[in-house]
Structure 1
């Protein structure tokens, strides 16, 4: 039977019982009925891996002790049975070795962000990809929201005029006190050996930076940053502020914090141009506000009126039926599934031209994190946004 009549087969590394983000990825991948989870190496504990697989109704023989075993044994299966891509949902320090091994084994990769532990690893990963005929995707989730995609299309069409200022904020409060010993999500994010050089900017600030570049179509060129741990005893930042300059001359401000008491997942962005401004809030994702100096503001609601094909193709429900975080994730997985189905088909170029972030966004994301740290340490007021040799 042709692969176009089957679900795209997914494996997963990480995401065992007790891990938050793995369950999110699995739920999102399943929403549209296009992807099926067939195997996994869910935990460094094989017992946990088997328990996770049992809870997910997987064949225990396809619940592997580690990712190396999974790639070898899956590659040995008949083509119509083996996984086609792997979803990587481990702590940051494992992203690169898992992705590299998967690519070299011939599997497509969808990775949670940040793509790697260091910028140099992201650059090396691109080299690995260049030598293998596989796809790579990165779950910068917020680019999957319909109205984020609509805003991106409107800005690209010139509706705002020339972009002059960008203000992005991502505030949380969950790390405002030292976490308990059983808080698995906090423990690795605050550990530089597993998270990398940054906690706050690496975990959430990079999302805000990616959103600013994706929506505006601009690239950060210079930065002035102030990152620090607010809670005593921490080795890496839990709060930070960044001034930015973009390649068209626009200026920007980025605020990221995990110690803002009372904040839940307050990601919002405002982009201003010479003709209009717009505003979007992740906690109210079905509303986009367009503002003018000389006419009343415009309130755009998901599902009401006409939208760009990119935005309308990302909507699943009628107006007034809210879609949110899982659906945004699902849009990235759907984009990636379409890429996989079209892979190798010269007549399916449209599906391959996906908006799902890839290796270039992966490199810029790691560069943003390391440039933030470098800018904080620098004596100069402004530092250039570098794509190599940052730290």
Structure 2
């Protein structure tokens, strides 16, 4: 993968992504990996001095280390060398206001999930994006893995037949101990009304829809806070009903010792089944009905066209999370550079995917509040 022939890297701004967590560093590494982007502006902390210091270490000129997102949107839109896109990697409750400021300025947006903390705000972002006619990407990183894209291709081509069952899980251990005072994901003021479902459940939901090409139409959810001191859900189990009549199971927890980043999906159809595990991402197992299982390798001779396009090194050389993240940034760069791009036909997750994730979150919350009854996902209310 090489830089575009137009002679320059795209200019990227960043809101958030300071030293407190790893997500800012992941965004920066992924954006830079293929030479498509350079980071030239940002607001990296609510503390102006800290933000300026981070900008200095990132070799960003002082004039483009801004005090706030509104100032940055206005000034970058007015510059002849202004940013080509902004990345938002801040707390959940801030996404909406920041995204609106850059959409108003006509600047494409790349936003972490969950998109917003309410269905109403998700719908508003869908509408504002359509009005602004600029690109809006949501970083559901796992859709960037080569084997995930191959699984999607195989299902779309009918190799599994009619999809009957989907099992997806996202298990981790990072909240298995009592919450610390600085755990913003346990703070409803910053995270919103949902915990694990917003944090990693939205990834599981998106993966199920991305791979199968099917929407989740309704769900029945049991949410719980199992660790003392947790104010938001840290454990969820759900039954899913997909639009073609298929059934699904979703298990989502942050309190499972021994699970580091256990995102896994299994899909079964009338002609076969497949499974993929994020902690072993370079392989995918496919079993045709009545046949022998095949283990497909990223970079191997049987890899699909989409998988090969998302691959950098030969089979046997591991690729993982940062490379998948970089695939999203490469796809976004290609879409921005294409003057005839269709904003509704892109390879990466968009504001519509983000809005569907918000619809999923609040359907789960409502179902749990109503003793686990099936609740329809309000896609229309979310604008998706």
TM-score of the alignment, normalized to the shorter chain, above 0.5: yes
Distance 1:3 1:320, change over 3 A: closer
State how 1:307-386 maps to structure 2 within 5 Å. 307-342=303-338, 345-346=339-340, 353-379=345-371, 381-386=373-378
What displacement does 1:285 show?
A: 0.2
What displacement does 1:18 show?
A: 2.1
What displacement does 1:214 show?
A: 0.5
Distance 1:380 1:208 in 2: 19
Distance 2:73 2:288 in 1: 54
What displacement does 1:292 show?
A: 3.2
How many aligned residue pairs are there?
379
CA RMSD of aligned residues (A): 1.6
Distance 1:381 1:42 in 2: 42
What displacement does 1:328 show?
A: 0.5
Contact (CA 8 Å) 1:338, 1:352: kept in 2 or not? no
What displacement does 1:211 show?
A: 0.3
In the other structure, the counterpart of 2:16 is 14
In the other structure, the counterpart of 2:222 is 226
**Post-superposition CA distance 1:47-78 (Å, at most 9, x none):** 11011111111111111111111112212211
SS for the counterpart of 2:257 is coil
What displacement does 1:307 show?
A: 3.1
Distance 2:134 2:375 in 1: 35
SS for the counterpart of 2:54 is helix
Runs of 4+ in 1 over 3 A off after TM superposition: none
State how 1:208-357 maps to structure 2 within 5 Å. 208-342=204-338, 345-346=339-340, 353-357=345-349
The match for 1:51 among 50, 53, 66 is: 53
What displacement does 1:293 show?
A: 4.1
Q: Which runs of 5+ in 2 are unaligned?
A: none
The match for 1:202 among 198, 205, 209 is: 198
Q: Which TM-score applies when normalising by structure 2?
A: 0.95
In the other structure, the counterpart of 2:162 is 162
Q: Which runs of 5+ in 1 are unaligned?
A: none
Distance 1:121 1:203 in 2: 18
Distance 1:266 1:87, change over 3 A: same
Distance 2:261 2:150 in 1: 22
Distance 1:4 1:370, change over 3 A: same
Distance 1:127 1:389, change over 3 A: closer
